[in-house]
Structure 1
Amino acid sequence: MSDQPNIILINCDDLGYGDLGCYGSDINQTPYLDQMAADGIQFTDFYMGSPVCSPSRGAMLTGCYPPRIGFAEFDGRWVLFPGQSLGLNPAEKTVASLLKDVGYATKIVGKWHCGDQKEFLPTRHGFDSYYGIPYSNDMGRQTPDDKYPPLPLLLDEDVIQEQPDQVSVTERYVEESVRFIRANQDTPFFLYFAHMYVHLPIYPPDRFMRESENGRYGAAVQAIDWSVGVLLDELKRLGLDENTLVIFTSDNGSRARGEGGSNKPLRGTKGTTWEGGQRVPCIMRWPSQIPPGSVSNQLVSAIDLCPTLVELAGGEMPSDRIIDGKNISSLIRNEEGAITPRETFLYYLLHNLMAIRSGRWKLHTHTVGKSGIEVCNELYDLVADIGETTNLYDQHPDIVADLNDQMDIYRKDLGDDLTSTKGENTRSVGRVDSSDTLTHYDPDHPYIIAMYDLKDRG
């Protein structure tokens, strides 16, 4: 067996903390993911680098907080939109490029959302190949009167279909993933499978709709679960199971606004820095290394994945720049006495430092209110109060003072618009002089308009 593990990173879109059976759901059917958790390790305190999509994905791929890489906001927008001139800077080193340097075959299937101009596509960031929709599935021409350009399906850097039928997209992604695994079974590989589900609009296959107890949302969760089962079965069939690390997570929390998603028992939703915005499910399975039935309550983040995976593969992180991620390989293996190297976690929304967690304590200085970002002096003990229900700000002035001091240090390092602080150690977003959308609407083209013509956007 090779010393280099195969790695599969599965990233869902808007899947909430409470959406899986192993995280408490009693309405969504997730037998394969529940079994994956039983066979591996389940993290209870795993955080994404942002409560929204593009910054979260850029952070995970580079091991850096979004402001570090100029990826916290995009000319006033929270995420990247079709045809924007911005994207992940080609000078950044991604987990794919670093694994490629040590002999890995690399592929992304699914949602990219780190820039749709050619200079920013996955094939310019260490991926040998790409098959997928480069941004959110609600950024296409959903209904006949839409103003968006048709949704593009890409193969590497070329549009191979406009407005693909979203009912079948997940099955196509699974087929492409299986092809990649089979083609690279004799070499170490890195597969990044970035699901379209459960971002709105949700177009699930009929077979999952018939079984769902939670409408379209539950059907989409079942489709995700099915896809995981297919990949795990394929690994076993090929004899790759023991030496393949499979990671399952979500880019941020659920919208949880009546569409069926849940962040319970957490407070807040996607787009907020309450726990429900950034604390997400994370399951890892690696039969030769992870004891079955493991659970970790340690503080870890998706920005820790890049340095961890590179270390496990025998690679090296770049030494010419600051990397915020920590090596959590001992936690993944659930080694006796292992403790997290992560002392703090920062909650950024755009370029605003909203909150900080250190150990069990979380201090909010700001939150998103009805009128925008508002001052919010609240302190929570996340070990005793996972739902952020009891404000202990006045009872622990010493802890508040210490966390405020830490926030000042990070503001100086990464910047903070709330205090008009410019970060001293940040890098630039990628930018091209001229940009265009990958597709353009043609009134004479026979586009596939999805059967339900859903107007939902996420």
Structure 2
Amino acid sequence: MVYGAPKVIRIPFKIAHAAMTFVAFVLATTFVISSTAATEESAADAASKRRPNIVLIFCDDLGYADIGCFGAKGYETPNLNKLASEGMKFTDFQVAAAVCSASRAALLTGCYPQRVGILSALGPSDSIGIAKNELLISELLQNLGYKTACFGKWHLGHHEQFLPQQNGFATYFGLPYSNDMWPKHPTAKNAYPPLPLIDGNKTIELNPDQTKLTTWYTEKAVKFIHDCGEKPFFLYVPHNMPHVPLFVSEKFAGKTKRGLFGDVIAEIDWSVGEITKALEATGNVDNTLVIFTSDNGPWLSYGDHAGSTGGFREGKGTVWEGGHRVPMIAKYPGTIQPGTTCDKLASTIDLFPTIAHYCGATIDPSRKIDGVSIQPLLESVEGAKSSHEFFYYYWGNGLEAVRDERFKLHFPHAFRSLTGTPGTDGMPNGYTQAKTELALFDLDADPFEQTNIAADHPEVTARLTAAAESMRSDLGDSLTGKKGTGIRPPDRFTQPKAN
């Protein structure tokens, strides 16, 4: 068959124009819908990929039972109670040392303080500080593009080379060490030089009005949150309070039935509320991990100016539970189930790897840390166990106790015990020297460490002793004369060269 030329069909102009217009409309509409969907998808992706903010509030000498949701009496802590109702309480949360500087070194490095060479409470006469080659949470997050700020007590070295702005914090305001290290110390008057208030690296005032400290830190924290914009941030608020001497602003003076101590805690609770409001006002609540805890237990010799352990034995300056077990609350909407409680063993040394996990940071495996991420505990993962098979209690260089999730073994050691009458009105009293023999306690049945069951459980004693011997090889033990091989020394102050 032979085909001829195709037949031409002529379409009137108006019909053709209408058809083309319709096609163009369909194509344009499709493009707009696709483009809008793509925009929404990319915005969602961006939001999901944005790293979370971190707010870490660290009190000084706050005891286990010093806030309402952990059993406080005589005052209310509504903001902290609300934080707990929206997050998780930890009831077996341990510091790595029951003294200021060592506890802070552990918190910020994820290491036992013996590993990084910070063992006590550094003062104005000390020439050491946190080593420059130690990696702090602040440096880890600053390297990821976080805005970082510290408002409060530093206590990892007061010389400029050790201050926060040389350790990953872009902004710093606060005291370089404890607030009692000044000429008005209650038992050592004029033994200390004037107390510096530092802004950045500069001392801006000596012997500042301590009634304003909590308010100053809070106001600066709130402003920092508002100024961060869309950038992720790490806000560290290490309060000076309720370390003695106690000070409170006029707005909270006389507001509780627990005297000055209760007033101080009420102001700390207010501070938590103001920070929470700032997160809400800036739309950051859902993308912020908030952690509230303390550096060690209460300084019991100060009596009515000291907090409560809630019945746990002894307090600050000892390896008994009253010195090491502190309140901890964590809130992270959408990740931590509201109103939950965790009774598993966890520690401040675990916060470094936990924050690294949530922020997508990689920790160099060649540089040993002692903490383990508690992400499974925070997220209530079924079957999640303690982050530690064993946990070690040092005082200075001495390994005085070791525990697993249930049992705690004390090695023979001396300790200060509150066996006398505690002090009043800011003056200490009540400590005597005591000793313990080898003693094993079942913390599930006897959390207050009253009944020594070592003779009844020789296999547990042997297992914990073997774990301690392994740690002695790593971090040493002055009680047995063992030298550790895993210790990294602190840095020493170096006098700047003259121009």
Question: What TM-score do you get using the length of structure 1 for normalisation?
Answer: 0.91
Percent identity for Structure 1 against Structure 2: 43
User: Does the CA-based 8 Å contact 2:386-2:405 persist in structure 1?
Assistant: no
Q: Secondary structure at the match of 1:418?
A: coil
The within-5 A match list for 1:95-134 is: 95-134=137-176
Partner residue of 2:466?
Answer: 405
Distance (whole Å) between structure 2 residues aligned to residue 319 and residue 372 of structure 1: 42
Task: In structure 1, give the amino acid aligned to 2:81.
Answer: D
Q: Alpha-carbon deviation of 1:148?
A: 1.8
1:349 aligns with 2:395: yes
Task: In structure 2, give the amino acid aligned to 1:106.
Answer: T
Deviations 1:248-276 (A, max 9, x none): 00000001231241001211110000000
Match of 1:158 among 199, 202, 226: 202
Mean Cα deviation higher: 327-336 or 119-128: 327-336
Number of aligned residue pairs: give it.
430
1:379 aligns with 2:440: yes
Partner residue of 2:483?
Answer: 422
User: Does the CA-based 8 Å contact 2:298-2:306 persist in structure 1?
Assistant: no
The verdict on how the C-alpha distance between 1:191 and 1:417 changes in structure 2, with shifts beyond 3 A counting, is: same
Task: In structure 2, give the amino acid aligned to 1:229.
Answer: G
User: Does the CA-based 8 Å contact 1:16-1:250 persist in structure 2?
Assistant: yes
Task: In structure 1, give the amino acid aligned to 2:184.
Answer: Q
Partner residue of 1:218?
Answer: 262
User: Does the CA-based 8 Å contact 1:19-1:28 persist in structure 2?
Assistant: no
Task: In structure 1, give the amino acid aligned to 2:367.
Answer: R
Partner residue of 1:180?
Answer: 224
Match of 2:367 among 302, 317, 321: 321
Deviations 1:60-83 (A, max 9, x none): 1000001111112xxxxx310114
Larger helix share, 1 or 2: 2
Match of 1:90 among 116, 122, 132: 132
Distance (whole Å) between structure 2 residues aligned to residue 434 and residue 408 of structure 1: 40
Larger gyration radius, structure 1 or structure 2: 2
Task: Give unpaired runs (5+ residues) of structure 1.
Answer: 73-77, 436-458
Q: Alpha-carbon deviation of 1:151?
A: 1.1
Partner residue of 2:313?
Answer: 267
Distance (whole Å) between structure 2 residues aligned to residue 247 and residue 367 of structure 1: 33
Distance (whole Å) between structure 2 residues aligned to residue 207 and residue 89 of structure 1: 40
The within-5 A match list for 1:22-421 is: 22-72=69-119, 78-142=120-184, 146-257=190-301, 258=303, 259-369=305-415, 374-421=435-482
The verdict on how the C-alpha distance between 1:333 and 1:19 changes in structure 2, with shifts beyond 3 A counting, is: same
Distance (whole Å) between structure 2 residues aligned to residue 174 and residue 407 of structure 1: 42
Q: Alpha-carbon deviation of 1:372?
A: 5.7
Q: Secondary structure at the match of 1:51?
A: coil
Q: Alpha-carbon deviation of 1:316?
A: 1.1
Match of 1:13 among 44, 47, 60: 60
Deviations 1:357-404 (A, max 9, x none): 112000000343468684521111111111111111111111101111
Task: In structure 1, give the amino acid aligned to 2:388.
Answer: R
Task: Give unpaired runs (5+ residues) of structure 2.
Answer: 1-46, 417-431
Task: In structure 2, give the amino acid aligned to 1:24.
Answer: G
Mean Cα deviation higher: 204-213 or 417-426: 204-213
The verdict on how the C-alpha distance between 1:147 and 1:375 changes in structure 2, with shifts beyond 3 A counting, is: closer
Q: Alpha-carbon deviation of 1:333?
A: 2.0
The verdict on how the C-alpha distance between 1:373 and 1:119 changes in structure 2, with shifts beyond 3 A counting, is: farther
User: Does the CA-based 8 Å contact 1:273-1:367 persist in structure 2?
Assistant: no
Q: Which has the higher contact order (CA 8 A, sep 6+)?
A: 1
Aligned-residue RMSD, C-alpha: 1.6
Distance (whole Å) between structure 2 residues aligned to residue 390 and residue 271 of structure 1: 21
